[in-house]
Structure 1
């Protein structure tokens, strides 16, 4: 009630509204009710059949309190009954699935994120679909001489699998460095030396396994997550067995698909920062002289497919999860 009364005296702010036919209009409104009225008039939508969502991620906007927290120039999608909108990322993915164009520069991740957040993205998607030239699908090609455009910005790599192997290694290496930093920053812990020994064990095992670069390398039949052609299939949110939206991607197809794959995540089912590392520290604190820390337990949770799922951005749920770990499981007894 208070938010609604407050909105009556608010200054009009500029916003952008759009429907699925890609008609885009700039409007000003004091509150959600005023925005709704203007949008329904412009798009000829029955207010009783209307849903308003954010353009970026499809979040529903149905209360004045939430609307009032959104910044000026926020873009809204007006949906009629039966229409859905899952956000810009899904739209871009759909466009790229139909095209092998190389639309992005070498500054991959930053440019791509900027592209996804740009206000005119829907129109750009339409332009891509309408104007891009179809290139011959070189998905089977591996070397930089057989598919030169795929290697734009990464000329030092000889094969696609070499590059993808490096991408996987970098991700796994970042998990190790994150754990190492957390442990080294821990103070006033009596058994800190045991943790440092555990780090050495983890580092050695990672080296032995080449930092699991095979996860993304289609030529590594024993470890790859993809199929032999390079298709990766989303494995769904941490609490699901499958991806309900059936997301998939093949970064081996083109430069653009390769760039898009950088937004897929290796998701820890049991969270590394909120659960695994804190539970490890608790185990180190509580262990007695007859016990040692299990580096294998930690290794499996941080770096292996026992606790890692490949997910598309839309399926990467960052919400806090239930702690299912018991600190005692990180300890093993010394041989008697």
Structure 2
């Protein structure tokens, strides 16, 4: 008595159509016959491949496929290199963006490939891009959770940067309580006041995150794209991290995990050295502009993705050691 083979359930589509069809077949030959009728295609040489990566299906391969595997029918002369095919087809073509989003979401359901899910997740997030829109009125979703006083994305992003710089000033001020000598403490307080006034005059360097500012001042492109500048001990980001917080709400929130990292460390080096050089000196005796640059400007700050933010003690490079020695010589 012949063994009855259970039909294999798969999803099929053609190269030129995004629509998928469910179909059942016991053998690859049966699948080809049924699929050609359903997709209304024909030819002397029909092949079937995996939608995911373009692997050509043989009879043996077909018998070992899990149910609901997605397959693509190829006629003579056609090829399919997986998901990259649809990316090439629709990248930059707004009318087909929904197709790419749908395809990416399907692949995201594969729990056996976390790396691919992460890549596709980034792709989907960036496809939902409204970076060309600036006002709250035209992109209300982007402004969810943002105080109503902010009417444009640039205004909020500027405030975001200002808040970070204000936080650095607060840390400088907080160090005051650790200084035991009253005279030195009073001079340190004067320094904090001077730094605060200087920051206030330049709006706390909020221009760094404001895409409406001139290219010389901002850290992003005119469209709002930021690129990771790499870890403190590297010349560039080896992962090519980038993000556009102007594009959508999710990217705006994710951008909060990026850091403005001090090359010469703020807490371990710059602030303690500032207090040290004030011992027996007046605030007017030291080069405050130099400390200002180290604490609050791009001269000592790098924008880095959280992965590139090394939180341990910075082992200074030769160039950084020279800067460190200059810090020690800031007394006029």
TM-score range, shorter chain: 0.5 to 0.7
Q: Which residue of 1 aligns with 2:190?
A: 197
Q: Aligned equivalents of 1:328 and 1:146: distance in 2?
A: 52
Q: Which residue of 1 aligns with 2:111?
A: none
**Out of 119, 139, 142, which is 1:150 matched to?**
142
Q: What is the correspondence of 1:190-269 to structure 2 with a 5 Å cutoff?
A: 190-221=183-214, 222-269=216-263
Q: Residue 154 and residue 284 in structure 1: after superposition, are their counterparts in 2 closer, same or farther (change >3 A)?
A: same
> What root-mean-square deviation, in Å, do the aligned CA atoms of Structure 1 and Structure 2 show?
2.3
Q: What is the correspondence of 1:45-84 to structure 2 with a 5 Å cutoff?
A: none
Q: Is the 8 A contact 1:139 1:254 kept in 2?
A: yes
Deviation of the 1:97 alpha carbon: 2.4
| 1:99-150 C-alpha deviation (Å, 9 max, x unpaired) | 239xxxxxxxxxxxxxxxxxxxxxxxxxxxxxxxx74x32110001111111
Q: What is the correspondence of 1:117-128 to structure 2 with a 5 Å cutoff?
A: none
Unaligned runs of 5+ in 2: 1-113
Q: Is the 8 A contact 1:232 1:248 kept in 2?
A: yes
Deviation of the 1:96 alpha carbon: 4.2
Q: Residue 92 and residue 197 in structure 1: after superposition, are their counterparts in 2 closer, same or farther (change >3 A)?
A: farther
Q: Is the 8 A contact 1:198 1:293 kept in 2?
A: no
Matched, 1:329 2:325: no
Q: Aligned equivalents of 1:232 and 1:219: distance in 2?
A: 14
Q: Which residue of 2 aligns with 1:172?
A: 165
Higher alpha-carbon Rg:
2
Q: Aligned equivalents of 1:264 and 1:285: distance in 2?
A: 36
Q: What is the correspondence of 1:13-32 to structure 2 with a 5 Å cutoff?
A: none
TM-score by length of 1: 0.58
Q: Residue 143 and residue 204 in structure 1: after superposition, are their counterparts in 2 closer, same or farther (change >3 A)?
A: same
Q: Aligned equivalents of 1:224 and 1:273: distance in 2?
A: 25
Q: Residue 329 and residue 95 in structure 1: after superposition, are their counterparts in 2 closer, same or farther (change >3 A)?
A: farther
Q: Aligned equivalents of 1:150 and 1:312: distance in 2?
A: 21
Deviation of the 1:302 alpha carbon: 0.5
Deviation of the 1:95 alpha carbon: 4.3
Q: What is the correspondence of 1:29-48 to structure 2 with a 5 Å cutoff?
A: none
Q: Which residue of 2 aligns with 1:275?
A: 269
Q: Which residue of 2 aligns with 1:17?
A: none
Q: Residue 320 and residue 228 in structure 1: after superposition, are their counterparts in 2 closer, same or farther (change >3 A)?
A: same
Q: Residue 294 and residue 246 in structure 1: after superposition, are their counterparts in 2 closer, same or farther (change >3 A)?
A: same
Structure 2 counterpart SS, 1:100: helix
Q: Aligned equivalents of 2:141 and 2:222: distance in 1?
A: 21
Structure 2 counterpart SS, 1:251: coil
Matched, 1:139 2:139: no
Deviation of the 1:321 alpha carbon: 2.0
Deviation of the 1:280 alpha carbon: 1.1
TM-score by length of 2: 0.59
Q: Is the 8 A contact 1:144 1:155 kept in 2?
A: no
| 1:37-62 C-alpha deviation (Å, 9 max, x unpaired) | xxxxxxxxxxxxxxxxxxxxxxxxxx
Q: Is the 8 A contact 2:259 2:304 kept in 1?
A: yes
Q: Residue 322 and residue 331 in structure 1: after superposition, are their counterparts in 2 closer, same or farther (change >3 A)?
A: farther
Q: Aligned equivalents of 1:92 and 1:267: distance in 2?
A: 29
Q: Aligned equivalents of 1:282 and 1:92: distance in 2?
A: 50
Q: Is the 8 A contact 2:228 2:304 kept in 1?
A: yes
Q: Which residue of 2 aligns with 1:99?
A: 124
| 1:2-60 C-alpha deviation (Å, 9 max, x unpaired) | xxxxxxxxxxxxxxxxxxxxxxxxxxxxxxxxxxxxxxxxxxxxxxxxxxxxxxxxxxx
Structure 2 counterpart SS, 1:214: helix
Q: Which residue of 2 aligns with 1:294?
A: 287
